[in-house]
Amino acid sequence: MSNIEKPANRELTGWQKFFLSFPTMPGNLSVVLIHNAFLKYYTDIIGLNPKFVGLIYAIFGIWNAINDPAIGVWLDRHKYNEKKGKYVYIMRLCAPVTLFATFAMIFAQPSWNEWVIFAFLLVFLFIYDTTMTTFSIAHANYKLIAAKTNKERVDVAVITTYVANIGGFLGTVIPTLLLVGNHDKNLTILLFCAVLAVNSILYFVALKPLKETREMYLKENVQTEDRKGVFGDVLANVRDALKSRSFVTLVLFQILAIGPCAFYFTPFLYMSDYVLNLEGYQATIMDLSMGFSLFVTAPLWGIWIKKLGMKTSVMWALIPCALGFFLLTFVQNFFQTIVAYIIMYVFAQAISIAMSPMMGAIIDEDEQRTGQRKAGMFNGLDALLTIPVSGIQASLFMGIISYFGFQAGSKIQSDHALMGIKLGAGALPFVFLLLGIIPLLYFPINKKKEQELSEFSKNRQMELDSP
- Given a cut of 60, whether residue 399 has pLDDT beyond it is yes
- Alpha carbons within 13 angstroms on the beta-carbon side of residue 225 total 0
269-324 tens-digit pLDDT: 888 888 888 877 777 788 788 878 888 888 888 888 888 888 999 999 999 999 99
- Check residue 180 and give its pLDDT: 56
- Given a cut of 60, whether residue 388 has pLDDT beyond it is no
- Check residue 322 and give its pLDDT: 95
- Given a cut of 60, whether residue 244 has pLDDT beyond it is yes
Query: Would you place residue 467 in the very low, low, confident or very high pLDDT band (cuts 50, 70, 90)?
Result: very low
Query: Would you place residue 325 in the very low, low, confident or very high pLDDT band (cuts 50, 70, 90)?
Result: very high
- Of 450, 455, 156, 157, the residue nearest 312 (C-alpha): 450
Instruction: Say how far apart CA 378 and CA 232 lie, in whole Å.
Output: 16
| Residue 295 CA from chain centroid, whole number | 18
- What is the chain's Cα-based Rg? 22
- Check residue 426 and give its pLDDT: 93
- Given a cut of 60, whether residue 201 has pLDDT beyond it is yes
Average pLDDT of 410-438? Answer: 90
Instruction: Say how far apart CA 391 and CA 262 lie, in whole Å.
Output: 10
Long-range contacts of 324-328 (CB under 8 A, 24+ apart): 324/348, 325/260, 325/264, 325/425, 325/426, 325/427, 325/429, 325/430, 325/433, 326/426, 326/427, 326/430, 327/426, 328/271, 328/422, 328/425, 328/426
330-387 tens-digit pLDDT: 998 888 999 999 999 999 988 988 887 888 888 888 888 877 777 766 776 666 666 5
**For a pLDDT cut of 70, what percent of the chain falls above it?**
81
Lowest mean pLDDT among 21-35, 56-70, 422-436: 56-70
- Check residue 443 and give its pLDDT: 93
CA distances from 184 to 174, 177, 190, 198, 409 (A): 11, 10, 10, 21, 13
- Check residue 419 and give its pLDDT: 93
pLDDT, greater one: 399 or 236: 399
Instruction: Say how far apart CA 52 and CA 70 lie, in whole Å.
Output: 27
Instruction: Say how far apart CA 159 and CA 28 lie, in whole Å.
Output: 14
Instruction: Say how far apart CA 120 and CA 249 lie, in whole Å.
Output: 37
- Given a cut of 50, whether residue 8 has pLDDT beyond it is no
pLDDT, greater one: 447 or 6: 447
55-105 tens-digit pLDDT: 877 777 677 666 766 787 788 777 877 788 888 999 999 999 999 998 898
pLDDT averaged over every residue in the chain: 80
pTM: 0.66
Average pLDDT of 391-402? Answer: 81
